[in-house]
Structure 1
Amino acid sequence: MTITQLTYLLAVAEYKNFTLASEKCFVTQPTLSMQIQKLEEELDVTIFNRKKKPIELTPIGEKIIEQAKIIVDESNRINDIVDQQKGYIGGDFNVGIIPTIMPSLLPLFLKTFIKKYPKVNLIIEELTTEEIIRKLNDGYLDAGIAATPLEEPSIKEKVLYYEPFVGFLHNNHRLYSEKNISVEDLDIDDILLLEDGHCFKDNIINLCNSFKKKDPHNFRIESGSFDTLIKLTKEGLGMTLLPYLQTYDLKESDQKLVRSFKNPAPSREVSIIYHKSQLKIQLIDALKEVIDSLIRGVIAFSDVKIISPLRK
C-alpha cells in the first residue's frame, strides 16, 4: 500500500470516474486503474462498484476512503511542517471564495499576491460556503474566504474586513430622494434578492427580520448574480442591496443610484477560514497580510453593525 495508491483512490471517490480522476492526478487512466486494482487485490476487497454509473463506493470502500483521507492528509502535513520551520512560502495553495465576494475581492489582491509570492501556486475556486466547509474538512482546500461567523467547530476564522451594505435603487423609487437610508426603510416585497445558496441573501433576510409591507407585487424575483439584480433595479422592478465593494465597478451614472445606510451601517464580516488542523499557516498569513494592506485603502468604515450570514 502506498500514498500514491491512496491518492488515486481519493481522486476516483471525488470525481466518480476513472478517466477524470486520472486527468486530475496527471497519470494515464490505465496506470491509475492498475494501481487501484493492485490495492484491492492486496486488501482482498472491492472498493468501487464499477457497474454503477457514476461509480459508487462499496460499504467497505467508504470506510477505506475515510481512512485514506486521514493518511494522505497527514503525509502532506510533513511537508507543511518542514516548510513552516524553514519559513518557506511556496507550493500549492488551494483557496475557495464564495461567489458574492470573489468578483470584487479577487481583482484587488491577485496581481499583488502572485508578484510578491512567485513560488506559490495559487489555485482558486468559486464555491458556496457549504462547499468550502466540506472541502476544508475533507482536505481538498487549504483556506477559504467567506462571510462569517460560521460557528463551525472544525473551522478557524481570521477576520479580513467588515464590508457595509448599500442600497441600489431606481430614480423613481420611494427612497431615491433620501441621502442615506435606514434599516426601517426596507420592505421585503420591494427587495430583489439573490437566489438560495448565496449567504448574502441570508445576510439580507437577517437584516430585515421584521418587514413592513407597503406596495406588494404580484411577482418575486431571485437571481444568481448582482449584475442581474442591478439591471432589474434599473428597470424599476424594485431595489436591491449590494456589498460595498460591488459598487466599485459601477458606471458613474449608476453610482448616483447608490444609497449608504445611516450609522451603524449594516455590514458583513469577511474572513479567511481554514481547518483547525491546517499547517499552511505561513501561506494563510501571507494572503491575509496582502489583503489587509490593500483593503485599508478601499474600506475605511468603522461604525458598523455585523449581520450574521447564518439563517435565523
Structure 2
Amino acid sequence: MTITQLNYVLAVAEHLNFTIAAEKCFVTQPTLSMQIQKLEEELEIRIFDRNKKPIQLTEVGKKIVEQAKSIVNEADRIKDIVEQQKGFIGGDFKIGIIPTIMPTLLPMFLKNFIRKYPKINLIVEEHTTDEIINRLQKGQLDAAIAATPLNESDLKEIVLYYEPFVGYFPAEFRNGLTELSPNDLNVNDILLLQDGHCFTNGILNICKASKLDQSQNFELTSGSFETLIGLANEGLGVTLLPYLHTLNLSENDKKNIIEFADPKPSREVSLIFPKNELKIHIVDALRQTISGVVKGAIAFQDIAIISPKLNR
C-alpha cells in the first residue's frame, strides 16, 4: 500500500470517473486503474463498484476513503513541518469566500497579501456557506472566510472582525427614523438577497421571522447588494447592508443609511479551516493581513452577534 495509491483512490472517489481522476492526478488512466486494482488485490476487497454508472464506492470502500484522507493528510503534514522549519511560506492555497463578503473584503487585503507573500499562489473561489463547509470537509479548500458561528465539529473558526448591519432607507421610507431597532423592521418590507445567502438568514433572524408573507403584492429577491440598492432607490422598499459595503457608496446613497441603536446587530466574520489544517502558517499570514486592514475600517464596540443560520 502506498500514498500514491491512496491519492488515486481519493481522486476516483471525488470524481466517480477513472478518466477524470487520472487527468487530475496527471497520469494515464491505465496507470491509475492498475494501481487501484493492485491495492484492491492486496486488501482482498473491492473499493469501487464498477458495474454501476457512474461507479460507486462499496460500503467498505467508503470506510477506506475516510481513512485514506487521514493518512494522506498526515503524510502531507511532514512536508508542512519541513517548510515551516525552513521558514518557507509559499505554494498553492485555495480559499473560499461567501458572496456577501468577497466584493468588499478581497480588494481590501489582496494587494497587501500578495506583496508580502509573493511565493503563495492564492486561489480564491466564491461559494455559499453550505458549499464552503462541504468543500472544506472534502479537502477541496484549504480555508474559507464566512459568517460564523457555524458550529461544525471538524472545522476551526478564528474571528477576523465583527461587521454591523445597517439600514438602507430612502427618504420616503424613513418616517422620522434617525436610528433603527429590530422592532422597526417588517420582513415583508425588506428587499432580500436570494435564498441560500446566510446574510438573508441574518436579516430574518433580526426580524424574528422565517418566511415572507405570501399575501403581499410581490416577492422580490436579488443576488447582489447593488441591485437591492437600485430597487430601494426606485421606491420599491428598504434593505439592510453589511457596514463595509457602505464605505464605497456614493455620497448621495450614503444619505439613505440609518445605523442601528446599540447593541448593533452584527455578523461575525471568521477564517475557517479544518482542525487538521496542514498550512497553518499561511492561515496565520491571512489572519494577520486581514485583521490589520479591517481594524481601521470598523470601530464598533457594542454589538450583538446574529447567527448566519436561520432560526426556526
Report the TM-score when normalising by structure 2: 0.88
Q: Is the 8 A contact 2:6 2:72 kept in 1?
A: yes
Name the SS for the 1:274 alignment partner: strand
What is the Cα deviation at residue 38 of structure 1? Answer: 3.6
What is the Cα deviation at residue 271 of structure 1? Answer: 0.9
Q: Is the 8 A contact 2:73 2:278 kept in 1?
A: no
Name the SS for the 1:181 alignment partner: coil
Partner of 2:224: 225
What is the Cα deviation at residue 30 of structure 1? Answer: 4.0
Unaligned stretches of 5+ in structure 2?
none
Q: How does 1:147-186 map to 2 (within 5 A)?
A: 147-173=147-173, 175=174, 177-186=176-185
Partner of 2:205: 206
What is the Cα deviation at residue 160 of structure 1? Answer: 0.5
Q: How does 1:1-312 map to 2 (within 5 A)?
A: 1-173=1-173, 175=174, 177-209=176-208, 217-312=216-311
Count residues with an aligned counterpart.
Answer: 309
Q: Distance in 2 between matches of 1:163 and 1:23?
A: 42
Unaligned stretches of 5+ in structure 1?
none
Q: Give the direction of change, closer, same or farther, for the CA distance of 1:26–1:99 in structure 2 (3 Å limit).
A: farther
Q: Is the 8 A contact 1:10 1:68 kept in 2?
A: yes
What is the Cα deviation at residue 176 of structure 1? Answer: 6.4
Report the TM-score when normalising by structure 1: 0.88
What is the Cα deviation at residue 37 of structure 1? Answer: 3.4
Q: Distance in 2 between matches of 1:40 and 1:227?
A: 54
Q: Distance in 1 between matches of 2:46 and 2:129?
A: 34
Q: Distance in 1 between matches of 2:21 and 2:229?
A: 40
Q: Give the direction of change, closer, same or farther, for the CA distance of 1:294–1:8 in structure 2 (3 Å limit).
A: same
Q: Distance in 2 between matches of 1:229 and 1:123?
A: 29
Q: Distance in 2 between matches of 1:102 and 1:147?
A: 12
Q: Give the direction of change, closer, same or farther, for the CA distance of 1:238–1:20 in structure 2 (3 Å limit).
A: farther
Q: Distance in 2 between matches of 1:90 and 1:41?
A: 39
Q: Give the direction of change, closer, same or farther, for the CA distance of 1:16–1:254 in structure 2 (3 Å limit).
A: farther
- Percent identity of paired positions between Structure 1 and Structure 2: 61
Q: Distance in 2 between matches of 1:199 and 1:32?
A: 40
Letter in 2 for 1:5: Q
Q: Distance in 1 between matches of 2:102 and 2:38?
A: 42
Q: Distance in 1 between matches of 2:121 and 2:10?
A: 21
Q: Is the 8 A contact 1:169 1:176 kept in 2?
A: no
Q: Distance in 2 between matches of 1:169 and 1:234?
A: 9
Q: Provide Cα deviations, 1:234-276, integer angstroms capped at 9, x if missing partner.
A: 3322211111122234334333332222222211111112222
Q: Distance in 1 between matches of 2:204 and 2:141?
A: 29
Q: Give the direction of change, closer, same or farther, for the CA distance of 1:253–1:32 in structure 2 (3 Å limit).
A: farther
What is the Cα deviation at residue 289 of structure 1? Answer: 0.5
Q: Distance in 1 between matches of 2:226 and 2:206?
A: 22
Letter in 1 for 2:78: I
Q: Distance in 2 between matches of 1:206 and 1:27?
A: 50
Q: Give the direction of change, closer, same or farther, for the CA distance of 1:36–1:192 in structure 2 (3 Å limit).
A: same
Name the SS for the 1:246 alignment partner: helix
Q: Distance in 2 between matches of 1:290 and 1:176?
A: 42
Name the SS for the 2:286 alignment partner: helix
Name the SS for the 1:180 alignment partner: coil
Q: Is the 8 A contact 1:97 1:125 kept in 2?
A: yes
- What's the Cα RMSD here? 2.5
